[in-house]
Structure 1
Amino acid sequence: MAETVAGPAHEVADTVPEFPMPRASRCPFDPPPGLKELQEQGPLAKVRLWDGSEPWLVTRYAEQRAVLGDPRVSADTDQPGYPTKASAEAGEGKLSFIMMDDPEHARLRRMVTAPFAIRKVEALRPAVQRIVDGLIDDMLAGPGPGPVDLVEAFALPIPSLVICELLGVPYDDHAMFQDNTRTMVRTTATPEERGAATREIAGYLAGQIARRLTDPKDDLLSGIAGRVAAGELTHGQATEMALLLLIAGHETTANMITLGTAALLEHPDQLALLRDTDDPKLVASAVEELLRYLHITHLGRRRAVTEDIEIAGQVIRAGEGVIMVNEIGNRDPEVFEEPDRLDITRDARRHVAFGFGVHQCLGQPLARMELQVVYGTLYRRIPTLRLACALDDVKFKHDAFIYGIHELPVAW
């Protein structure tokens, strides 16, 4: 009798696909083929994670927005059913307010909203333009027409310089936080390695905040320290907030710079449109389309359901987990015509690359502005830019929570 029960149960279990899914080796800019198959089958599917849990995967655009906008769905990692990314996450705690729910999420987020307002961000555009031009000058003044690793020479320094300026962190310390951030987002890192990296950056930022308590400056860390002095934040909360801003402020944008460049080099017609234009609206359109087409949070936005909800006719019970794979949501043919085609002239502003609802990315105005400056400048100033190796030899970040490129050799 036991054998009869075990057989069918095993067969049913085998029909649940594992997540995350591998990308096709020759299609590094596209979502995994398995995700497309699930999307074609319907908006919801069960998947199996590393720990054997089976959350719901939400594959279509409308249903992803519905889940992300539902207050009965929680970003709190302590909620029952929350789908964790890897065993190495255990014991690392929350990354400030992005892993909290309202009202505490809203209270903390409001403390750092002002510097990322569109008006404040636009005031930074001339400074970012100078940074981009200066780095291009350095590349062109080098010993020859490449090869140069665009990640180290260009993509990482831009957002790192900007976020250091905003926070008030000395750029001379960028190597420390970049190295530790790589460890924190690497899926193959052990809990000990990730913990050590987190503690080093957190300790550094805690020291910076402590100094601002007695010697405030005109920077974001001083503003956070002021909240500590006013009793609105503990020192630990302030450190977590600074850590979130530091990591999110450089790792994501750097990956979009290199991914976008690689994708454009593989689509020379689109690159030519962008390189030859002086229309800021087309540059802005290109940024939105590349954000839609590429999308770097390829392990999905994860949530736990706190009350029963109904999505696409399916009841998802309290205590179950859900994962929104926005990369396939941004390829939903019901929303974007020919979604697998890169077209910088399309209106892609509806994409969900920055999420949706109360947890949508706080720093999206800054990211957009930086990408507009980069995409509007790099290819115009180096019109013969090309890959210095075959695309198959480019080292993509299949081993990280944030998708991107480890090294991008370019020449001109």
Structure 2
Amino acid sequence: MSIGYLQIPGTSPLTTTLPPLSTDAPLPPALTSPSPPSVGAKQIFAFWHSGIHSIPPYLLREITSWYRRYSPLGWTIYIFDNVPDSSLNISRYINTTDPLLVPAAFANGTIDSASPYHHTSDLIRFPLLLRYGGIYLDVTLLQIGDLDWLWTKHISNPASPYDFAGFTMSSPPDLQIVNFAMASTPNNPLVSRALQILLKLWEGKTNTSGMHAQSIVSHVPLMRVPPDVNIPADIRAKMPEGDPEMTDYAIQIQCLGAAERWIDDDWNGPEYTREKCWLYSMVDRAYIPEQMAGWSGQRLFDLLSQRIAEPNSAMETESHKFARQIVEETVTGSWVWKLGNSEDMFGGPTLGLLWRRNEGSDCVEGTYAGWLRWAEVNLRQERPPEKMEVPVFEASMRGKLSDQL
């Protein structure tokens, strides 16, 4: 155990974690040239357009944390890319010329939005999960909860009613499954319908501008800050509220929302969401540190950059106590920690942006940030967070999806 890092109440030590990777050693072949994925296997998918070797160090450390924690349990991690001749080029794993999987703008390389790599990443998630099943994670996620437990006991288990897991913004009528962390079985019906809706939106388009207004998704509320989230008024005023541009930016989420709210001859979205989806509240299980720090990235950065003080000692100031509380509650209560990377969305610089701008600050030995990084691969929650109980909610679209395609 590293000096100064304590086990956190409510956790137990992990005994299967691989040791830290040397910063000056090559990445292991299991990350740079993994064996091909197979249907229904334990596999984590992610994407970085220019390849794993170009990922910013604070994010690469997250990927190596997934590797250290989960590869001993039989998991393979795939960081797909768009690099010509790369063994992990996404075109080797899904048919990127198939109009039933990706839009023409993807196949032709004509996506012309302000964030083409973001949309490329979005467009491969559904096809990957449909073909292989597994877990898709954003590279900006610190994975706290036990993915192996979730996958083995609930998602891939034939005796379990659940075949999809993820996060949702708020509660009905604003219930909205998001796309930064999704687990599903192959040929999942929710993923399949969301993909069909997404492809319809992209017909004849080279970017997502105006997609929120198309009838196939216009029955879904525009993205907004959940009204029940406690955010200081000055920060909330800078965040998007029912923002069409932000909704277009995250249009894949609207497609999931449309599928959730749709009743067809052979599909009942509200019923499926209640009975088949293992869901966590995004705010409660992915943004605990932001809530505790008043959604201030700078405050989080300053708190976590402090050197650890011995608990309840004369050296532990109120600031130290609060940083310790953030680490402890994050490790015991989160499923993931989603690092924000958009000043526009969060009303100012996020912790993720500040870690990127201050290389190495996310893992300094003996700091609260270093403790959090250590806990992620060395501790396991004794009681995983309870899933969200989805209440009965009404469909907002009825009729055959095929009639709108």
Q: TM-score when scaled to structure 1?
A: 0.28
Rg larger in structure: 1
Higher relative contact order (CA 8 A, sep 6+): 1
* Bigger fraction of residues in helix: 1
TM-score by length of 2: 0.28
